[in-house]
Amino acid sequence: MKVVVDQEKCVGAGQCVLAADDVFDQRDDGLVALLDASPPSERLADVRHAAAVCPAAAIVVED
């Protein structure tokens, strides 16, 4: 699994952090910080959930 975030789309809602705080964080300006671009497969459900709840569709999960 590979995770890609689009900083230009991010609106800083923080839903990704709530869904997978070991994969996503928020920078000082509130935008997403990707902590792990290749998280382990057991995190797949949470990472997919983070992408699904992102109001700006700034997260893409590639298999």
Query: How many Cβ atoms are within 10 Å of 18's Cβ, its own excluded?
Result: 13
pLDDT band at 1 (very low <50, low <70, confident <90, very high): very high
Query: What is the reported pLDDT for 63?
Result: 84
Query: How many Cβ atoms are within 10 Å of 43's Cβ, its own excluded?
Result: 17
Mean pLDDT on 35-46: 97
Class of domain 2-62: alpha beta
The distance of Cα 3 from the centroid of its chain, to the nearest Å, equals 7
Contacts of 57 (CB under 8 A, 6+ apart): 9, 51
Give per-residue pLDDT as tens, 17-32: 999 999 999 999 999 9
